[in-house]
Structure 1
C-alpha cells in the first residue's frame, strides 16, 4: 500500500476511530457489570492513557513507522485485537475482591487492586493511537482530512454502539469490532512483512476461538459478597441480557426465603405461603435487585404482599380503584402490589429494554398473568420524560429504588447522575398527582441517615416551590426498625388525621415496619427526619442542611448527583466517627487519577523533550504548544460531558444522549476540521475562533437552554433536530483547533507531532475526572461555562506561524 493514496489513509482513519470509540463504549458497559460505578469510572478514564503512550512511542520511532507504514498499521491492528480480547478475558476472570468497601483502607486496597487491571485496557487503545498518530504525523497526508475522517468514524461508533449492544451483546460486539479493524487494516494496506502476517494470522485465530468459546472466555467471576457471587456458587444464574443502560441477570432464589435473615425484611413480610412464591430475582449490574414473585392471576396468590413496605401508599390512601403509575418495573413487585389493591389502571414505565424483553418474551410464561392483565399498560421509556409528555394524573405514583448505581453509556465518566430524584422531578410528580394522590418513593438508607434524608429535603424544597407553607403536613415516612429501608410518602394536600391513623395502625401489625415521621410525630424529634420536618422554616432548614455532617442538600437538574453525599473536607474529617461513616469516593478518585496523570506527564511530555534535545531537535515555544494541546483535551471533554448531561433528559432516554449528542458533536467537529483552513483564513487567527466558541456557548446558555423543558413534548425527531442544531456550531468550531496546530508544526517539526498528540491524550484522561468533580461541586451549567476560559487560553497560547517552528537540526 502507498499511504500517499489519500482515500486509503482516510478510510483507515475512519475505521480505526470507529472501532476505538465503539470498543471504549463497550468497555464502559463491561466494567459496571462487575464493579460498582465508583471503580468503573477509574477504569474507563485510565483506558485513554493508551493514546498518551502511543505519542511517546511515535516520538521515539516515528521514522520507522513512516518507512514501514503498511506493516506498522496492520501489526498495530493485530496487536489491538490480541490485547483487547486478552484484557477482557483477564478482567472477566480476575479475582474480583469485594464489591463494596466499608472502610477507607479497604477502599484504597481495592483501588490499588484494580488499577493494574485498568491499565490492561489502556494497551489496546495504545495500538489504535499508533495508527491514528502515524496517519496524522505523516507529512504526505492532509491533516485536516485525516482528522475529519477520524472524527466521522468516532461519530459512527457512537451511533452504532447502541443497536450493537441490543442485538449482539457486549462481548460479541467487541469481537465483531476487532474483526472489522483487522480485516480493514489488512485489506487497505496489504502488508508484505512476515512478522506482520504472522500477527494477523494469530489475531484471526484468537477471534475464531473467541467466537467459538465465548461463554467460557467471557465467564464473569463476581465480587465476593455480591448477589451473583452467591448465585454463581449454586448454579442459580439462569439468564443474562445486555441493554445499553445496564446488564440484567435473572437468578433463581433458593427456598426458603427467611425475612429474619434478610437485611430488608420490610420487602418480604411474614406470610410463609407468600414467601414460597419468591422464586426468581432480577439484578441490574449485579447490584440493584428486584424480586419476581410467581403470580398465578388470583388475588389469593398475592396474600401477604400487603405486609410489605411496597404497599404503604395503598394503606394510607382513601381512594378506591386508584389510578397507579409505577416508574421502574423490575420484576413487577410494584405492579403486583397495585393489583392486590384493585386498581382501575396501572401505567408502568421501564427504561431498560432488556428488562421489558425478559418480561414480555424471554420469561413470558412466568410473567404472563400480570403482563397480560388488561389494566396494565407497560411502556418502555424513561420515567421523568414520560411525565414531561403526559397530561394524566394519578392517585399513586410509586418509585422503588429506581437506579442501577452505574453511569449511563452516554455518561460513562460520571457518578450515577439521576434525574428522578431532583427538585424538578419532585415538582413533576406532585403536578401529576390528584388532590388526594400519594407519591411513594422507597430507597435503602444508612445507619446515619443521608440517602432518604436527601430525598426528604428535596421533596420539601419542591413543596415550597409549589407554594406550600407547611411541607411537614404533606409528608409521612415509614421505615424498618433499624432504618435500613425507608419509604417517603408525599401529598399535594396535607395528610388527614384518618390517613395518618390508617398508616400508623398498619405498621403496628408488623414487626418490620414503623412510622418514622408524620405531622403528629415530628415534634418528638426522635430521628433526623422528624428533626428536619419540625423546623418548618426555610432558613432553619437551610441551617440544618449546612451543618449536617453529610451533603443532604436538595439536588436539582444542574446538579443531579443524588448519590454523592461527601464533601472535600471528608478526606480529613475532624470527627472521628466520620472516618468510618463515609468514604469520599469522588475525592479519592480525583487524587489517585491526579497522581497517575502526573507520572504520565513526566513520561509523555518531559521525557520525549529530553530525548529530542539529546538528538539535537527542538521546537520553539514548546511550553505554549504543550498548553495548547493540553487545553484542547480539557476543554473538549468538558463541553462533551456537559452537553451529554444537558441533553440526556431533553431527548427522553439515556441512550439517546449517546446516539444523538455524542455522534452529532463528533460529526460537527469533523466537519469543522475539514473546513478549518478556510475558517481560520476568514478569521485570520485561531484565537478569534475561541471568541466564537465563547459567544455561541453563552448565546445558547442564556437564550435557548432555558426554553428546552417546554419543548419536551415535541416528537423525538424534532427534539433530535434541535439538539443537532445546537451542537453543530459548537462542534464545528472545536474541530478547528487540533488540525490547525498540527498543520502548523508538520513542515519543520514533524517529530514533535506525536508529542503533541500524546499531550492531548494525557489531558483527555484528566478531563473527565476534573469535569466530574467540577460538575458535582458546582453543577453542569458551571462546567459548560468553564470551558470558555479554557478555549480562550488555548486560542492565545498558539504562537504565530512565522515564529513558532525552528527547523530541526542534528
Structure 2
C-alpha cells in the first residue's frame, strides 16, 4: 500500500479505529474471563501485565519499523493473524489449565498462588503485543497524519469500551471474543489484501481456528475450575453436582448447578440450611457468581408449609426479632430466592426483591421459569432489576425488614482489586440510607461470612453504630443484636431503628437457644461481659471510646465512606512485617499483591523495554533528550491513569457497579482524548504553548473535583 494516497489514509484510519475497538473490548473480555475462573484481584494483575504487550511492541518497532513499512500490507495481516491465533490459543490454555487452590491459609500459599498465575498473565500480553504492532505502525508511518490516526485509535477504543457491554449481555464473553477475532481478521484482509502466500496461509489457519472454536466452543472454553471452589465439584465424577447453565452478565458470570441435598454436618455453613430433613430434600440447585458467591435455590411448590425448616436458618433472624406480625420486606440481592422464600414463610404481605444482575432475573423468570414460578410469580413478590442502593435512594417507601444477605460477588474482596470489585453497599452513607428506609419498628439484617478473628462483620458493626449515632440514637448498643454461627464463620447483624425491647431480646435469645448451629454473640444484656470482639466494642457505648478502639484494634475496622469505600480492606501496610502473632496468621492480600505487582511490572518493563532499547543504542547526543521525553511521557501516563482510576471509583456509585463504570469512564476519557489529539494544534496555538494547556487542564480538573464529583451520590436519587 502506498500510504500517502488519500484512499490509503482513509483505510489507515478505519484500520486504526477497528483495531483499537477490538483491543479495548478484548481487554475487558479478558478481565471477565479471569474474574470467572480466579478472583477479581487476579484479573487486575493480568490486565496490568497485558499492557506490557504494547510497550514491548513499541520497543521492537523502534528497530523494525523501516522494514515493516516497506511491506505494510503483509505486516498488518501477519500481526492480525497472530493476534487471532494467540488470543484463542492463550484463552484455550487459560481455561483448561489447573491454577491451584481457590483458598489459601497462609501468606506462603498466597504468594505461591500469585506466582503460579504469572505465566498466564504474561501469555495474555502476547495478543496485545500484536495489536500494538498494528497501531504502532499506523502511528509511526511517515506518510500518515499521526494526529488523525491517533484520534481514530482513541475513538475506536471508546466505542469498544461501550460495545462490549451489550456484546457480553447478548452474546456472552466467549462468543464476543471470537467475534472480536473475526472482526480483526476481516478488517485486515479486506482493507489491506496480502499478496504473499506464507501470510495468506497464516490467515487461512487463523480463519480455520475461528471456525473450529465457534463450532466446538463448549470444549475450547470449558473452564477447569480451581480446587476448593464450588464448581470444582461439578467436574468430579460421582459427586452429584452438575453444572447446568451459564449466563454472562455485565456484572458477573452466573452459574446454575444441580446439587444433592446438603448435609448440615458436612458443609461449612450449616446456619444457612438448618437440619429439617424434609426441607433439606428441597435443596436441588445452587446459583453462583463467578464460582464464588452462592445462594441455594430451594424447590418451592407454592405452599408456605413446605418451607418448614427455613425458620431454623439464620435468614429468619430478622423475623424472629421484629414485633411486626406481617412485615413489609425489601431484600437487596435475590440470587436463588432464599430471602424471598423466608419472607413468604413469615407471611409478609409485600416483598420487594431487588437484583442487580439481569442474568439472574432472566434465570428466575425465563430460563428456569417452571422451577421458580411459585416464588417469583407470587402476587406479593415484586422483582426489581436494579442496584440495591440506587433503588432505595429513589423510593420513599419504608420497610419493616430490610435484608442484605452477602450482597456482592465476593470474588474480589480478598485482594487488590478494590477499584474493580468494591461496591457502595457497606459505607456510612449506605447505612444512613438503610435506617431512613426502616419503619419505626423496622429491622435491618446484614448477613455475611466472617473471618476468625472477626473483622468483616466487626466493621459492619462499627458502621452501624456510627449511623445510629448520626440518626440520633443515644445508646446505639441497645439497637443491635448479633447472631453468629457456632464455628464463628458467619454472622448476622440486626439493627433496629428503635431500641430492642427486653421482650424482643428474650424472644430472639429463646429462638437461638433452640438452634444448634448459632448463638447470640452480642445483645444489650450480654455486652457488659465483653466475651468477644462484638461485645467489647458495643460495651464502649461512647463515641470517644470507639475512636480510641479503632486506634488499638489489630485490624482496620473504621467505618468506610463513599469517598473511600474499601469495606473489605481490613489490613494495614504494617501487617507486611507483623510483630503480633495474631496478625502473622492473617494474609494482607492487598498489600502483598501490590508489592509483588510493583516489582514484577518493574522487572518486566526493564527486560522488555529498557534492556532492548539500551542494546539497540542511541544516537550521539540524544541520551539526555530521550530521558526527558521518557520522563514526560511516563508522567503524563501516570497522571492520566490516576485520574482514570479515581473516576472509576467515583462513577461506580453513580452507575451502580464498577464493571459499568469501567466501560463508561473509559469511553468518555478515550473519546475526549481522541478529540483533543485531533484539535491539539489549534488548542496549543490558542493557549500559547503546551505548558499552558497543562495548567488549563489541571484547573478544569480541580473545578470538577470541587463542584461536580461530590454531587454524584445525590444525583443517584
* Residue of structure 1 equivalent to 2:599: 595
Q: Match of 1:303?
A: 308
Relative to structure 1, the CA distance from residue 401 to residue 251 in structure 2 (aligned partners, 3 Å threshold; closer, same or farther) is same
Deviates more, 1:316-325 or 1:13-22: 316-325
| Structure 1 residue 2 displacement after superposition | 2.6
Determine the C-alpha separation between the residues in 1 that align with 2:418 and 2:713.
Answer: 24
C-alpha offsets along residues 484-523 of structure 1, whole Å, 9 cap, x if unaligned? 1100001121111111111111101111121111111111
Equivalents in 1 of 2:659, 2:598: separation in Å? Answer: 30
Contact 1:381 / 1:653 at 8 angstroms: preserved in 2? no
In structure 1, the residue matched to 2:454 is 449
CA contact (8 A) 1:20 1:154 kept: yes
Aligned with residue 33 of structure 2, among 30, 33, 38: 30
1:621 CA drift (Å): 1.6
CA separation of 1:527 and 1:514: change in aligned 2, threshold 3 A: same
Q: Among 685, 690, 694, which residue is 1:690 paired with?
A: 694
* Distance apart, 1:618 and its partner CA: 3.3
The 5-angstrom pairing of residues 371-770 of structure 1 reads 371-406=376-411, 414=419, 416-580=421-585, 582-613=586-617, 618=622, 620-713=624-717
Answer yes or no: is the 8 Å Cα contact 2:649–2:658 preserved in 1.
no
Q: Does 1:2 align with 2:8?
A: no
Q: Return the alpha-carbon distance in structure 1 between the equivalents of residues 75 and 573 of structure 2.
A: 46
Q: Which residue of 2 aligns with 1:244?
A: 250
Q: Is the 8 A contact 1:16 1:181 kept in 2?
A: yes
Q: Distance in 1 between matches of 2:41 and 2:412?
A: 9
Q: CA deviation at 1:710?
A: 2.7
Residues 259, 284 of structure 2: 8 Å contact kept: yes
**Deviation string, structure 1 residues 275-326 (Cα, Å, up to 9, x no partner):** 1111100011111010000100001111110110000000011112211000
- Asked whether the 8 Å contact 1:46–1:118 carries over to 2, the reply is yes
In structure 1, runs of 5+ residues without a counterpart are 714-810
Q: Please report the TM-score for the alignment, with normalisation by the length of structure 2.
A: 0.96
Out of 363, 379, 400, the residue aligned to residue 368 of structure 2 is 363
Q: 1:617 to 1:71 in 2, by over 3 A?
A: farther
What aligned pairs does 1:155-194 form with structure 2 within 5 A after superposition?
A: 155-194=158-197
Cα deviation, residue 346, structure 1:
0.4
Contact persistence 1:159–1:658 (CA under 8 A): no
Of 93, 107, 110, the match for 1:107: 110
Distance 2:309 2:600 in 1: 54
User: 1:38–1:585: 8 Å Cα contact kept in structure 2?
Assistant: no
- 1:660 and 1:43, CA in 2 relative to 1: closer, same or farther beyond 3 A? closer
Task: State the partner residue of 1:782.
Answer: none
- Does structure 2 retain, via aligned residues, the 8 Å contact 1:22–1:161? yes
In structure 1, how many angstroms separate the alpha carbons of the residues matched to 2:699 and 2:380?
A: 52
1:629-675 deviations in Å (ceiling 9; x for gaps) = 11122111111111121122223454542443321221111111110
Number of residue pairs matched by the alignment: 709
CA contact (8 A) 2:102 2:229 kept: yes
1: CA distance, partners of 2:513 / 2:70: 82
- Structure-2 change in CA distance of 1:617 and 1:124 (3 Å): farther
Superposed CA RMSD: 1.6
Q: Conserved in 1, the CA contact under 8 Å of 2:52 and 2:605?
A: no
**Do 1:396 and 1:440's aligned partners in 2 also have CA atoms closer than 8 Å?**
yes
1:43 paired to 2:46: yes
Question: Is residue 157 of structure 2 the alignment partner of residue 151 of structure 1?
Answer: no
Is the Cα contact below 8 Å between 1:419 and 1:557 reproduced in 2?
A: yes
1:432-488 deviation digits (Å, cap 9, x = unpaired): 000000000000011100010011111112112223222111111011122111000
Match of 2:143 among 109, 134, 140: 140
- Paired position in structure 2 for 1:746: none
Query: CA 1:654–1:598 in structure 2 vs 1: closer, same or farther (change >3 Å)?
Result: closer
Whether 2:274 is the aligned partner of 1:269: answer yes
SS at match of 2:419: coil
1:14–1:149 CA contact under 8 A, matched in 2: yes
Q: Which runs of 5+ in 2 are unaligned?
A: none
Give the whole-Å Cα distance in 2 for the aligned partners of 1:527 and 1:503.
19
Q: Give the match for residue 57 of structure 2.
A: 54
Q: 1:178 to 1:617 in 2, by over 3 A?
A: farther
Distance 1:221 1:656, change over 3 A: closer
Go from structure 1 to structure 2 and tell me whether the alpha carbon gap of 1:114 and 1:631 turns closer, same or farther (over 3 Å shift).
Answer: same
Shift in Å, 1:23? 0.6
In the alignment, is the contact (CA less than 8 A) between 2:422 and 2:565 conserved in 1? Answer: yes
Offset, 1:617: 8.2
Q: Is the 8 A contact 2:420 2:659 kept in 1?
A: no
Q: CA deviation at 1:414?
A: 2.7
| Partners of 1:606 and 1:119 in 2: CA distance | 17
**Contact 1:28–1:412 under 8 Å retained in 2:** no
- Give SS of 2:605's match: helix
- Equivalent-residue separation in structure 1 for 2:541 and 2:216 (angstroms): 63
For the residue of structure 2 that corresponds to 1:514, the secondary structure is strand
- Contact 1:45 1:413 (C-alpha < 8 Å) held by counterparts: no
Q: Give the Cα separation in 2 of the matches to 1:579 and 1:478.
A: 27
**Equivalent residue number for residue 81 of structure 1:** 84
Which segment drifts farther, 80-89 or 468-477? 468-477
Equivalent residues of 1:155, 1:663 under 8 A apart:
yes
Secondary structure of 2:493 counterpart? strand
| 2:347 aligned counterpart, secondary structure | coil
Greater shift in the superposed pair: 31-40 or 436-445: 31-40
- Asked whether 1:68 is paired with 2:87, we answer no
| 1:284 matched residue in structure 2 | 289
State the Cα deviation string for residues 55-91 of structure 1 (Å, max 9, x = none).
1111221111221111111110100000000000000
Bigger mean CA offset, 53-62 vs 698-707: 698-707
Distance 1:201 1:616 in 2: 45
Question: Match of 1:726?
Answer: none
Number of the residue aligned with 2:349:
344
Cα-to-partner distance string for 1:685-721 (whole Å, 9 max, x where unaligned): 11111111211111112122233333223xxxxxxxx
Q: What is the 5 A alignment of 1:186-225? A: 186-225=189-228
Q: Distance in 1 between matches of 2:574 and 2:350?
A: 49
DSSP 3-state at the match of 1:399: strand
Q: Distance in 2 between matches of 1:620 and 1:578?
A: 47
